[in-house]
Amino acid sequence: MAPSATHPLAESGLNFIATQHKYAEEAAKRLRPDGLAQYVELKDAESDRFKAIGQDPWVDHAALNAQDPAVKEGETYKFAILGAGYAGLLFAVRLLQSGAAKSADDIRLIDAAGGFGGTWYWNRYPGLRCDVESYTYMPLLEETGYMPTENYATGSELLEHAERIAKQFELTDKALFRATAHSTTWDEDNQLWTVKLTEDRGPGETAVDVQFQAQYVLIASGILTRPQVPKLPGLESFSGPMFHTARWDYSVTGGSPTDSNLVNLRDKRVGFLGTGATAIQALPQLAKSAKEVHVFQRTPSAVHWRGLKPTDPEVFRTQIAANKGWQRQRRMNFQSYLNNAPEPGQANLVGDAWTELRAFSAVMGTPGHIIEPTADKIGEHVGRLYALDLDRAERARALVDKVVKDKDTATKLKAWYPVWCKRPAFSDDYLDCFNLPNVHLVDTDGKGLSSATKSGLVFESKEYPLDVLILGTGYRTPAIGNGSPAARTGIDILGRNGRSLEDKWQPQGASTLHGLGTNGFPNLFFVGPSQGASAANYVLVLDIGAEHMAYIISEANRKNKKVLEVSVEAEQEWTMECLKRAAWFSAVAGCTPGYITSEGETMKPDSSVEERMKLAQAAGWGEGVASYVKILEDWKAAGELQGYV
């Protein structure tokens, strides 16, 4: 809901009103009737070409085939963790530290990838880095004693760190890779989960179906794991090399994940489709190497300053990592700005551009402000957020004018949406690229491309001839299926009496205790966007969840309880508490489409009350991370595993 021009905050200036109108106009241009259906996931594509693009470029089949498989048909393990990215690793480590797992041998990790790392395994495009400070983002820095080399680590360093954690906690031989989990089914007789997966053995080898059992299943299968491409007429007919950024093809570009000198592009005209967070990081590397780069833009990203620098070991040792517990403190300190709730006088420990984005609290929550779900209260709340964001938004637009010399290009690069509608981008060199003679912006003014041909991309009957086409077109939204962990991961989750999680979640909406477990699905835990904490640093969310789950399971062990299940009353109560706070997130309704709004599908004006309720139910905790953590701590202090039966 956009705030009205007569809103009291409109007094803050004419700009406020004009900006709201511009935002609404730009969002309307981009709303499409096909919503999510405008994309196809690579793995679901009918075309062999797209399927091939979705294959794992990094896997070493020979090495993996030579290993004794970590998971064996018919075996029973205590913990099955589905996913071996940072979430899977954090879950495993917290289980070990809490004593819930006696040793790494209790644990098995399953991943479709060929190694640890998740996001950082799959994504290896040039320029890739974490976008929140490494000291807060990288998991388990205290436990590993690792000092990141820069304040925003490269993708390679983030991948190595996953491997470091696995090694240190003796998980290396506890993971089955190239293994896609299809289903997990509660076996009432044995009080165990039965997991079914298929292990890909590589070209020329027969894939192996494996079935095993586990006492606990932990879903760690990520949020942005399913690369998608637009259903653009003619796209697969493009005759040159074409790949998605999540499967970068260095055999085409030259260079490597640690060498951004893309030598094979020296004489190539490269097309880059998309201008999201990936494009912001990849373009400067392409611009350095390619003969020509055409950047095809539907919606410009708002770009903020970065301030990349090497870590000063002395500062790291004496100031950043000086005290036990520093990493959690630093993460919470950082997040407090995103919740627009730093303590008065508090030092801003990270102090980067993120911490200026107070209006990002629109999707992160804020403590103590529960918004009544009436039109006037919501209007007022949304108006405040827009006003809070205005200065930041104008600074981002001013930055474009300052950096980009050509006025027309600068105009096209300005973002006209509030900060909470898309993941903010940070770069010291993206905008500069548009001053280079070999970089060309093809702005589609919100329309997107018209089609593709054998030789290039077409916008409004003009063809742009290309030799190489790179698709930076993102991922299936994690909000799919009202945030259900089954819909998000594509794993069938069948609980008591064979009832699927989808059969529960879709008619009833998200129903959890603390966003981590749900009734009817004993000994099953997950972390995700619904009914739990939201943080700009997603590893904070994962770690809070991992610690809490490990605590619950270790307590159950101590009490000699083998089966834990969220009670109906507990999930109803928590769902009600979440719903009470869900109106906080109303500002998303006016957003330009993107994965946050399921490409506009969550904003359908004709949606029923029931649909809206489900959306509200699927939101995160409306009072921010500190409040969520306090609730978990109080819950623990009560010591009774309240709400679990």
Site residues (vs ligand NDP, CB under 6 A): 30, 129-131, 224, 230, 232, 273-279, 281, 296, 298-299, 423, 444, 448-449, 472-475, 594-595
Does position 96 interact with ligand FAD (CB under 6 A)? The reply is no
Residues numbered 25 to 84 that lie near ligand FAD (CB under 6 A) are 82-83
Does position 489 interact with ligand FAD (CB under 6 A)? The reply is yes
The residue with tokens 């000291």 is 135
Residue 124 CB, nearest approach to ligand NDP (Å): 12
Rg (CA), the chain: 24
* Candidate segments 126-134, 170-178, 248-256, 544-552, binder of ligand FAD by CB under 6 A: 126-134
- Paired residues of 462 in beta bridges: 459
Instruction: Show the binding pattern over residues 254-283: x = contacts ligand FAD (CB under 6 A), - = does not.
Output: ------------------------x-----
Q: Pick what 619 binds: ligand NDP, ligand FAD, none; C-beta below 5 to 8 Å, kind-dependent.
A: none
φ/ψ of 642, rounded to 5, equals -55, 135
Q: Pick what 483 binds: ligand FAD, ligand NDP, none; C-beta below 5 to 8 Å, kind-dependent.
A: none
Print the SS3 string covering 506-532.
HHHCCCCECCCECCCCCCEEECCCCCC
Our CB check for ligand NDP shows the closer of 296 and 334 to be 296
Classify residue 576 by burial, with Cβ atoms within 10 Å: 0-12, 13-18, 19+.
exposed
- Paired residues of 441 in beta bridges: 295
CA distance 508 to 530: 14
Strands 269-273 and 468-471: parallel
φ/ψ of 394, rounded to 5, equals -70, -35
Does position 101 interact with ligand FAD (CB under 6 A)? The reply is no
The DSSP result for 29-57, as a single string, is HH--TTGGGGEEEGGG-SSHHHHHHTS-S
End-to-end alpha carbon distance in the chain? 41
- CA dist list (Å): 260 to 123, 227, 263, 265: 14, 22, 9, 11
Does position 518 interact with ligand FAD (CB under 6 A)? The reply is no
Our CB check for ligand NDP shows the closer of 195 and 449 to be 449
CA distance 228 to 613: 28
- Using an 8 Å Cβ cutoff, are 41 and 227 in contact? yes
- Using an 8 Å Cβ cutoff, are 260 and 284 in contact? no
Our CB check for ligand NDP shows the closer of 227 and 485 to be 227
Select from 61, 58, 40, 36 the least CA-distant residue to 49.
40
Our CB check for ligand FAD shows the closer of 83 and 532 to be 83
Our CB check for ligand NDP shows the closer of 281 and 518 to be 281
Instruction: Show the binding pattern over residues 181-220: x = contacts ligand FAD (CB under 6 A), - = does not.
Output: x--------------------------------------x
Binding residue (CB under 6 A) for ligand FAD from 3, 35, 54, 85 = 85
CA distance 359 to 392: 9
Instruction: Tell me the one-letter amino acid at 581.
Output: R
Our CB check for ligand NDP shows the closer of 298 and 548 to be 298
Residue 474 CB, nearest approach to ligand FAD (Å): 8
Our CB check for ligand NDP shows the closer of 133 and 199 to be 133
Does position 530 interact with ligand FAD (CB under 6 A)? The reply is no
CA distance 574 to 578: 6
Residue 446 CB, nearest approach to ligand FAD (Å): 24
- Using an 8 Å Cβ cutoff, are 108 and 176 in contact? yes
Residue 260 CB, nearest approach to ligand FAD (Å): 16
CA distance 382 to 601: 20
Instruction: Tell me the one-letter amino acid at 489.
Output: T
Binding residue (CB under 6 A) for ligand FAD from 114, 222, 230, 509 = 222
Binding residue (CB under 6 A) for ligand FAD from 104, 112, 338, 468 = 112
Residues numbered 286 to 325 that lie near ligand FAD (CB under 6 A) are none
Reading the block at residue 383, the tokens are 């108006």
- Using an 8 Å Cβ cutoff, are 281 and 301 in contact? no
φ/ψ of 309, rounded to 5, equals -155, 155
Our CB check for ligand FAD shows the closer of 54 and 383 to be 54
- Paired residues of 77 in beta bridges: 214
CA distance 552 to 460: 57
Residue 236 CB, nearest approach to ligand NDP (Å): 14
Our CB check for ligand NDP shows the closer of 119 and 361 to be 119
Q: Pick what 424 binds: ligand NDP, ligand FAD, none; C-beta below 5 to 8 Å, kind-dependent.
A: none
Our CB check for ligand FAD shows the closer of 85 and 257 to be 85
Binding residue (CB under 6 A) for ligand FAD from 111, 199, 467, 623 = 111
Does position 484 interact with ligand FAD (CB under 6 A)? The reply is no
Binding residue (CB under 6 A) for ligand FAD from 9, 141, 210, 224 = 224
Select from 246, 240, 235, 274 the least CA-distant residue to 448.
274
* Candidate segments 7-15, 222-230, 232-240, 298-306, binder of ligand FAD by CB under 6 A: 222-230
Our CB check for ligand FAD shows the closer of 137 and 420 to be 137
Our CB check for ligand FAD shows the closer of 83 and 509 to be 83
Orientation angle between helical segments 86-98 and 538-558, nearest 10 degrees = 30
Does position 130 interact with ligand FAD (CB under 6 A)? The reply is yes
Our CB check for ligand NDP shows the closer of 129 and 178 to be 129
CB atoms < 10 A from the CB of 91, how many? Answer: 31
Our CB check for ligand NDP shows the closer of 135 and 475 to be 475
Classify residue 400 by burial, with Cβ atoms within 10 Å: 0-12, 13-18, 19+.
buried
Please report which helix (H) or strand (E) contains residue 24, including its range. helix 14-30
Q: Pick what 223 binds: ligand FAD, ligand NDP, none; C-beta below 5 to 8 Å, kind-dependent.
A: ligand FAD
Q: Pick what 253 binds: ligand FAD, ligand NDP, none; C-beta below 5 to 8 Å, kind-dependent.
A: none
CA distance 41 to 510: 24
Binding residue (CB under 6 A) for ligand FAD from 35, 118, 276, 522 = 118
Interface contacts to ligand FAD, rule CB under 6 A: 82-83, 85-88, 110-113, 118-119, 121, 123, 130-132, 137, 180-181, 220-225, 278, 489-491, 537-539, 542
